[in-house]
Structure 1
Amino acid sequence: MMVNAFSALKAYLDSQVLGQAALTEGILLALLANGHLLVEGPPGLAKTRAVNALAQGVEGRFHRIQFTPDLLPADLTGTDIYRPETGQFEFQSGPLFHHIILADEINRAPAKVQSALLEAMAEKQVTVGRHTYPLPELFLVMATQNPLEQEGTYPLPEAQLDRFLLHLRVDYPSAETELQILKLTRGEALSGAKVEVNPISQSDIFAARKAILALHMAPSVEQYIVQLIMATRNAKAYSDKLASWIGYGASPRATIAVERCARAKAWLDGRDFVTPDDVQAVFHNALRHRLILTYAAEAEGISTDDVLAEILRLVPAA
C-alpha cells in the first residue's frame, strides 16, 4: 500500500531528525496536500537537516537557497543569457526549477525577491522578461526563518504568508533526545534497527494526493471546518473577548488548507474518512500565520496560538 511507503518515509525522517515528530509530520502533510511549508525556530534545531532528509526519501531534484539581503530575483528564477555564437538570448533556469526547495532564512531577502518566490509558490511558474516558464509538477518550498534575530530582516507580508499551507514552530528537544543527538553526531548507532528508505517516486506522490482527495468527509465535518474559519471573521458571535483579540480573520485559503491537511492526516493514519480530531490536529499549524491580532491582544500578551485554542474551545465539534 502507498500508505506504508509514506509511513516508512516518516520513520526515516524521525531517525534523521530526532525529537521533532511534529516537524516531520508537517513536512509529509505539506507534501501530500500539495502545499508549501514555513518553519520557524531558533538555529540548530535541524530544520535544514529535515528537508535534506526528505530529499533523500523522494525522487526529485533538491536545491537549497540561502536568502541574503543582496539576493536578486534572477538568482531564483534564472535569466536570459546572450549567446554571441547564435546572436540570440537563451534562458538559463534558476534554482526554483528544482522539485524540493529549501528557502533558508527567507525573511532576510528584500521584497523583490520575496515577490518572485510568491509567483512561483502561487502559480507554479516564473516570468522572466516577456516569457513565462512552468515549474515542475512536483514543487515544494520549505522556508525557514529565525525568530530570534530581527535586525536586517524583511518581515514577510500577509499576502505571502497566506501562500504557505502550514506554519510550524519547532522548539528545543528534551534532555533525553539531546543525549541521542550527541551519540548520533559521534557516529554511534542508536538503539533499534537502522532505518532505511526507498525513495518514493513522483507518480506515487501524485497517486497518494488523488487518494487523499477521494477520502470520505461527512458534511458535518465540512461544516465544522467552515464554522472554525467563520469564527475568525465573526468572532463577536462567539465571544466579546475573542472579538477584541482578532483584527483580521482568515481567508478562504485557510479553509482549503485545513480541509486538505485533515484529509492528509487521516490518510497517513490509515483511515478512509476524516474526523473532527483530524481537523483539530492541523488547525493551529494551518491558521497560525493567517490571523492578524489587535493591539489589545498584543498588549495582553495573547498569542495567535492562544486565540486558536479559544476558537477550538468555543466552536462545537461535529
Structure 2
Amino acid sequence: MERNDTSTTDFILLGLFPGFQHVSLLVYLILLVYLIALTGNSVLIFLIWLDFRLHTPMYFLLSQLSLIDLAYISSSVPKMVINYSLGKNSISRVGCGAQMFFCLTLGGAECLLLTLMSYDRFVAICNPLRYPIIMSPKVCFQMAVVSWAGGALNSLIQTLYTMHFPVCGLREINHFFCEMPAILKLSCEDTSAYEMEVCVVSIAFILIPFSLIMASYIRIFLTVLRMNSPEGRRKALATCSSHLTVVSFFLGPGIVVYMTPGSSHTPELDQALSIFYTILTPMLNPLIYCLRNKEVAEALRKVLGKSHVSK
C-alpha cells in the first residue's frame, strides 16, 4: 500500500499487521465481522425496545451494552477499511485524538457496565424479593449514566495527556487505529512514569471491575447450588454464563495491553489483542445473549413469525 504525502502534524497508520501477505483477506473478514456486529447489536436493541417482556433492568443494561458495542466497533473499523480501500494511511492529529477519545470512552464505559450487570445478576439471584426496589428504573438509568460519564471523563484526561507528548522522527503508528499504547511508543520523551499512571487507572477500570464481577459470581454460584428447582438453577446459570463469557473475552485482553509494560509485548500482539476486544467482542455479545437467553430467542421468533405471517 503506497503512502500519501502528509503534513507534518499527520500520523501514518501502518494498518493491520504490516508486512502480512494476506492483509486484504483480513480486512474483508473484519468488514464481514463489522456487518455482523452492526446487524446483531441493532436487532438486539430493537427486540428489547419492542418486546414488553424484555423491559426489565437486565435487558435495559444489555441494550446499553449493545449501544456501546455498536459505537465501539464503529470507532475503528470504518476508518481502517476506508484507508485500505483508498490506499490512504494518514490520519490528522485531531482525528487521531478523537479516535483515541472515543475508543477509551467506550472501552471504559463497557468495563463499568459489565460490572454493574454482574451486580444486577447478584441482586436478582441472591436477593430476589428486594430486586424490584433495588433495581428500579431510576437506578438503572443512573447506572447507564455512570458508565458513560465515567468512561468519558477518564478518556478525556488520558487523551489530552497522551496527545501532549511530542513526537520525534517518523510519525508511524504500528496499529490499525490510534490506541494509547501505540501513540506513547512514538514519543521522544520518557513516558515510563505516565505508563505507570495508566496502569494505576487501569486497575480502577479493569482489575477492580474484574474482581467485583468475580466476587459477585462466587456469591451467585453458592446461591445457585442451594436452589431446589433444577429449572431455576438452569435459568440462573444460563444468564450468568453468558455474562461471564463476555467478561472474559473483553477484560482478559485489556489486562495484557493496558496493565503490562509496553516493552513486554510486541506491536503484533497488541494488534491481535485489540482486535479481540474492539472487533470480535462487539460481534460475539449479541450472538452469545441471543443464543443463551430464552427470552431474547423467543422475542426474535415472535418478530420473525409476525414478519412471515404479514407476507
Tell me if both proteins adopt one fold, taking TM over 0.5 as the criterion: no
Normalising by structure 1, we get a TM-score of: 0.24
Q: TM-score w.r.t. structure 2 length?
A: 0.25
* Greater RCO, CA 8 A, separation 6+: 2
Higher fraction of strand: 1
